[in-house]
């Protein structure tokens, strides 16, 4: 186990370097001149050249990347080109909102999709299984931003039950924060619930057809006991992997949900940074996000290690 964790951690370092350099290179290929975006269209060529020199944009790509990377190694992600705020401070301002949104959506996805998928997989072909599978297929066809808009229209504009805007910050007032998070959480988690349900159902149906499960069923063990004592451990291995992958997708899609619902998380910060060509913010958000996704994949590997004994050999 310790060797596996160390191996994954060592692999994460070059992967983060590759991701950061790829994003850095893509920002250099952007047709938008950050200096002109900062100064506005009325800026003179001399002022644009002076700002480009001040920001280091007239330096070669590798030189600029190494300067940024040297700052990262010294604990600094740089400063925003708009407002001169440290990138770390900007990310920390939006991190609680995004963390509350994404982690709540991940938990909701797991507690709904896993039990539903297990029981549907044990009863393949039943009316309940057919209805659940149809609903899951329908949910997968609904993009998160469309679900968010629909929820706002129904529950905020028509029924006036919940606020139409998401949380702009985590205030500590649990009830008020929850009211502003409910609609974004449901919008973000619905497609993920459907995807995880289908994966769990398929793997459960495969395990349920094994000889040892049929023997246990013939011995009179109840379905509930059979699911949680014999089926779940083997059937949930691919589900644990998918759940880790869904965390990465949720972080990406959270940017869209945050923009639609007016939330001030790191997703909306990244969108605004991309629109204004604030490259230090973009690089900081990508680096932090990539590190979180890699940590989630490591946790999925650890879960697989304990769920599937055969995985311990790899």
Judgement on whether residues 210 and 254 belong to the same structural domain of the protein: yes
Evaluate whether residue 265 is within a structural domain.
yes
Q: Are 43 and 36 in contact (CB under 8 A)?
A: yes
Cα 96 from Cα 78, distance rounded (Å): 21
Q: Are 133 and 113 in contact (CB under 8 A)?
A: no
Q: Which residue has the tokens 């997968």?
A: 140
Judgement on whether residues 281 and 153 belong to the same structural domain of the protein: yes
Phi and psi at residue 33, to the nearest 5°: -90, 110
Q: What is the 3-state secondary structure (H, E, C) of 97-153?
A: HHHHHHHHHHHHHHHHHHHHHHHHHHCCCCHHHHHHHHHHHHHHCCCHHHHHHHHHH
Judgement on whether residues 43 and 123 belong to the same structural domain of the protein: no
Please tell me which residue, 53 or 222, carries the higher pLDDT value: 53
Per residue in 11-39, pLDDT (tens digit) is 888 889 999 999 988 888 877 788 888 88
Per residue in 136-181, pLDDT (tens digit) is 999 988 889 899 999 999 999 999 888 888 878 888 788 888 899 9
Evaluate whether residue 162 is within a structural domain.
yes
Which residue, among 122, 144, 145, has the nearest Cα to 223 in the 3D structure?
122
Judgement on whether residues 69 and 140 belong to the same structural domain of the protein: no
pLDDT band at residue 314 using 50, 70 and 90 as cut-offs: very low
Per residue in 96-146, pLDDT (tens digit) is 999 999 999 999 999 999 999 998 888 888 888 899 999 999 998 888 989
Q: Which domain holds residue 183?
A: 94-313
Mean pLDDT of the chain: 86
Cα 280 from Cα 163, distance rounded (Å): 33
Judgement on whether residues 191 and 258 belong to the same structural domain of the protein: yes
Give the count of domains, the chain.
Answer: 2
């Amino acid at each position: 186990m310790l060797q596996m964790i160390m191996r994954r951690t060592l692999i994460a370092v070059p992967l983060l370097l590759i991701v950061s350099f790829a994003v850095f290179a893509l920002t250099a290929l952007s047709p938008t001149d950050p200096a002109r975006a900062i100064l506005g269209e009325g800026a003179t060529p001399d002022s644009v050249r002076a700002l480009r020199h001040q920001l280091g944009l007239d330096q070669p790509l590798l030189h600029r990347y190494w300067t940024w990377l040297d700052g990262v190694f010294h604990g600094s992600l740089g400063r925003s080109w708009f407002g001169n705020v440290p990138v770390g401070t900007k990310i920390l301002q939006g991190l609680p909102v995004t963390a509350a949104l994404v982690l709540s959506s991940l938990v909701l996805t797991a507690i709904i999709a896993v039990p539903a998928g297990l029981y549907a997989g044990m009863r393949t072909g039943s009316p309940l299984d057919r209805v659940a599978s149809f609903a899951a297929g329908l949910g997968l066809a609904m993009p998160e931003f469309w679900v968010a808009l629909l929820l706002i229209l129904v529950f905020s504009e028509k029924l006036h039950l919940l606020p139409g805007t998401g949380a702009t910050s985590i205030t500590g007032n649990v009830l008020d924060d929850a009211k502003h998070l409910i609609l974004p959480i449901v919008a973000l988690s619905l497609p993920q619930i459907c995807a995880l349900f289908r994966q769990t159902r398929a793997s459960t149906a495969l395990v349920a057809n094994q000889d040892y499960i049929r023997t246990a069923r013939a011995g009179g063990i109840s379905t509930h006991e059979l699911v949680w004592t014999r089926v779940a451990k083997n059937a949930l291995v691919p589900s644990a992997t998918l759940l880790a992958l869904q965390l990465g997708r949720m972080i990406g899609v959270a940017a869209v949900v945050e923009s639609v619902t007016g939330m001030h998380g790191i997703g909306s910060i990244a969108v605004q940074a991309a629109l204004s060509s604030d490259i230090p913010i973009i690089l900081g958000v990508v680096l932090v996000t990539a590190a979180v996704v890699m940590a989630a994949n490591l946790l999925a590997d650890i879960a697989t290690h304990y769920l599937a004994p055969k995985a311990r050999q790899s």
